[in-house]
Every structure is written in structure tokens, then in C-alpha cells.
């Protein structure tokens, strides 16, 4: 019975073995891709990528204040900016936020500060500080100590640094201060210029259009210094040499004898 069914299947499919052999030989041969699939497809895919306007053509302006790397180490030169709030009757300034950036503009310290006195004016339209920012802010003395540790022994850059140091109740060696509000080439006949004007003229960037940002302001001051570092440092050294020469020059003491004034140093006859 089994042999009859087997013979019947062979009789019904006489070409099955031949067809099966052809299929096996066809699968064993590597398929040659057509010329179109080998050359046109890759070019088509890459071509589509190049045609994307968002990838190839980026018209967004480059922000000169953006850090050039992600290094957050504390460098030998740091820039600082502070934002103030009003205490007492609102006319007294207190520290509300302080920011320090390194040479590359990366933030090394940025804290909101809870003043010792009660805040009566947040000055949000300028400071950018709101009540919620100070709810979990650090105490003034904690921030003051941290800032003092960071700036110690380093060159400190900023704009109108005397105001920032005043609200921090700190001092810094004058030889290590680089104040963009006092640098001679940045001055005009009428006196000092605002940081936003210096940033617009020398950096080509708009800042402080509304609420201030201490990070942005510190970066602007640092970049102004970096662009003028060579000449700036030379002028500082020249001033220090001049002061040293003036100290070495000791004025001659004069002794009055009646109506005649003579030198205290005797001269050889």
C-alpha cells in the first residue's frame, strides 16, 4: 500500500526533483546586485541627508558668550557677578545671588543667597530674583566663605567689582582686580560705561535687556578681559613698576634755620 502511494506521488509530480534541484542551485549562487541598487541607492540616501536644510544650512547666530568647553575647574582667573535685593526700607542693597565662572565661561559657583536682613524688595525687573528663589537659598555667611575661598590668590574679573565685594563684605588685592568698568580703553570722556554697552560694542552681543543674569554678565566680563588680556596685563605691570620706582625715591628732608631752608644732607666742599 505504501509503495503504491509513493509511486502515485511520483507520478503526480514528475518534475518535482528537477525543480527542487534548480531551486537549490539558484540559492547557492551569490546574488549580484543590480547596477541601480549598488550605485543609486547609497547616493539617494546620502543625497537626502545633504538636502536637509536644518543640517547643512544653520542660520542661527553663534553666541560668543557660550563656553568653549565643559571644563568646570577653578582657573587662575575667575569672573564674578552679583545680583542684589533690597533690605531695610528697600534702599539698602544685600546679596541675592552670586556667580563665578572660570576662564572658559563655565560656572564654578552659582548660588542664591538668603540675606541676614529681611528682603523688602526683590528688584526682580533687574535682579531676576523672585521670592521662590530664596526659599531654599543658602545663608549669607556660608556663601561668603565659599566665595572667599575661591577667589583667594586668583585674578578676579568683573564689572564694578567694588559693588560686588561690598555686598559680600570681602576685599581683594587691588593688583589682582581686573575691572571692566575701570579699564582705560573701555572708558569714555563722560566716565565709566555700562557692561551692556561694552558687550554690544566689543563682543557684538546683547545682554541685560530686561532682567539681568549673573551667569551671562560674568561671562561677558570674562570675555572682555580675555580679548584684551595681553595689553591689560602689560598696563598692570607698568603701573606696578611705576609705583615701585616712586617708593624708592625718598624725598630729601629739609631743616628750617630761621628764614633759611637748607638740605639735611651735607654737601662736600
User: 184-237, pLDDT tens digit by residue?
Assistant: 999 988 689 999 999 999 999 999 988 999 999 999 999 999 999 999 999 999
Q: How many CA atoms lie within 13 A of 71 on its CB side?
A: 8
Buried b (16+ CB within 10 A) or exposed e, 55-71: eeeeeeeeeebebeeee
Using CB atoms within 10 Å of the CB of residue 146, give its burial: 0 to 12 exposed, 13 to 18 middle, 19+ buried.
Answer: middle
Environment class of residue 111 by beta-carbon count within 10 Å: exposed (0-12), middle (13-18) or buried (19+)? middle
Look at the alpha carbons of 92, 98, 100, 106 in this order and tell me if their dihedral is positive or negative.
negative
Q: What whole-number percentage of the chain has pLDDT above 90? A: 60
For residue 74, pLDDT beyond 80? yes
Mean pLDDT along residues 15-44:
56
What are residue 164's phi and psi, to 5 degrees?
A: -65, -45
Average pLDDT over residues 45-49: 47
Residue 236: other Cβ atoms inside 10 A: 17
pLDDT band at 170 (very low <50, low <70, confident <90, very high): very high
What are the distances in angstroms from CA 93 to CA 88, 169, 212? 9, 12, 16
Higher pLDDT, 25 or 104: 104
* HEC string for 152-197: CCCEEEECCHHHHHHHHCCCCCHHHEEECCCCHHHCECCECCCHHH
d(CA 98, CA 45) in angstroms, rounded, equals 51
Instruction: Return the pLDDT at 46.
Output: 45
**The pTM is what?**
0.70
Where does the pLDDT of residue 246 fall: very low under 50, low under 70, confident under 90, or very high at 90 and above? Answer: confident
CA–CA dist 139, 160 (Å, integer) = 24
- Least reliable range by pLDDT among 26-30, 41-45, 59-63, 197-201: 41-45
Quick one: average pLDDT of 66-81? 95
The C-alpha cell at 89 is 526700607
Rounded to whole angstroms, how far apart are CA atoms 33 and 243?
83
Amino acid at each position: 500500500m505504501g509503495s503504491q502511494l509513493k509511486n502515485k506521488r511520483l507520478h503526480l509530480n514528475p518534475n518535482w526533483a528537477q525543480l527542487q534541484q534548480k531551486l537549490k542551485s539558484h540559492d547557492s549562487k551569490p546574488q549580484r546586485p543590480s547596477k541601480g541598487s549598488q550605485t543609486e541607492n547609497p547616493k539617494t540616501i546620502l543625497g537626502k541627508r545633504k538636502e536637509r536644510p536644518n543640517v547643512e544650512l544653520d542660520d542661527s547666530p553663534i553666541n560668543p558668550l557660550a563656553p568653549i568647553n565643559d571644563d568646570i575647574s577653578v582657573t587662575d582667573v575667575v569672573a564674578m557677578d552679583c545680583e542684589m535685593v533690597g533690605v531695610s526700607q528697600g534702599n539698602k542693597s544685600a546679596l541675592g545671588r552670586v556667580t563665578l565662572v572660570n576662564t572658559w565661561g563655565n560656572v564654578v559657583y552659582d548660588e542664591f543667597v538668603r540675606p541676614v536682613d529681611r528682603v523688602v524688595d526683590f528688584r526682580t525687573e533687574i535682579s531676576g530674583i523672585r521670592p521662590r528663589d530664596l526659599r531654599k537659598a543658602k545663608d549669607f555667611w556660608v556663601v561668603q566663605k565659599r566665595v572667599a575661598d575661591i577667589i583667594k590668590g586668583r585674578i578676579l574679573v568683573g564689572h564694578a567689582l567694588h559693588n560686588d565685594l561690598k555686598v559680600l563684605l570681602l576685599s581683594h588685592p587691588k593688583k589682582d582686580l581686573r575691572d571692566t568698568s575701570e579699564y582705560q580703553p573701555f572708558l569714555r570722556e563722560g566716565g565709566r560705561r555700562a557692561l551692556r554697552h561694552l558687550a554690544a560694542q566689543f563682543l557684538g552681543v546683547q545682554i541685560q535687556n530686561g532682567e539681568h543674569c549673573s551667569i551671562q554678565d560674568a561671562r561677558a566680563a570674562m570675555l572682555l578681559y580675555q580679548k584684551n588680556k595681553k595689553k591689560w596685563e602689560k598696563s598692570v605691570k607698568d603701573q606696578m613698576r611705576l609705583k615701585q620706582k616712586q617708593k624708592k625715591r625718598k624725598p630729601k628732608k629739609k631743616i628750617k634755620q630761621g628764614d633759611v631752608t637748607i638740605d639735611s644732607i651735607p654737601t662736600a666742599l
